[in-house]
Amino acid sequence: MAVNRRRGEVAAIIDGRERRLCLTLGALAELEDAFSADNLGELASRFRGGKLSARDLTRIVGAGLRGAGEAVSDAEVAAMHFEGAAAGAAAIAVELLAAAFGGDGEAAGKGNANP
């Protein structure tokens, strides 16, 4: 699946099929609300802390799927199977955050997920 990295799109295998994910402005606003962040700077700082819970991963991946046009709930995302299990879900979340906020993933908590 071809993705547009300039738009912040990423591709991932979820539930055995390739899916597109994107943290659009609407998806980022959804995450601001979910994490009680007043602005994008606060949201980025929240993720720079490097500690992502399973609930965080569900919210981030869910927002990315919805941003790409899929009608899925966080409960449905929580029941999905990811290549690489929890580590695979963490890798998707980190890639999405890096695409949305720029950088190589370091600021988004690369390698520090706590599923």
Write the pLDDT tens digit of every residue in 56-73.
Answer: 999 999 999 999 999 999
Range of the domain at 96: 5-101
* Number of domain units in the chain: 1
The answer to whether residue 111 sits within a structural domain is no
Question: pLDDT at position 10, please?
Answer: 96
Q: Is residue 107 part of a domain?
A: no
| Domain presence at residue 84 | yes
> Does residue 41 sit within a domain?
yes
What pLDDT score was predicted for residue 102? 83
Host H or E run for residue 12: strand 9-14
- Is pLDDT at 27 greater than 80 in this prediction? yes
The predicted model scores a pTM of 0.85
Whole-number pLDDT of residue 48: 86
Q: Is residue 115 part of a domain?
A: no
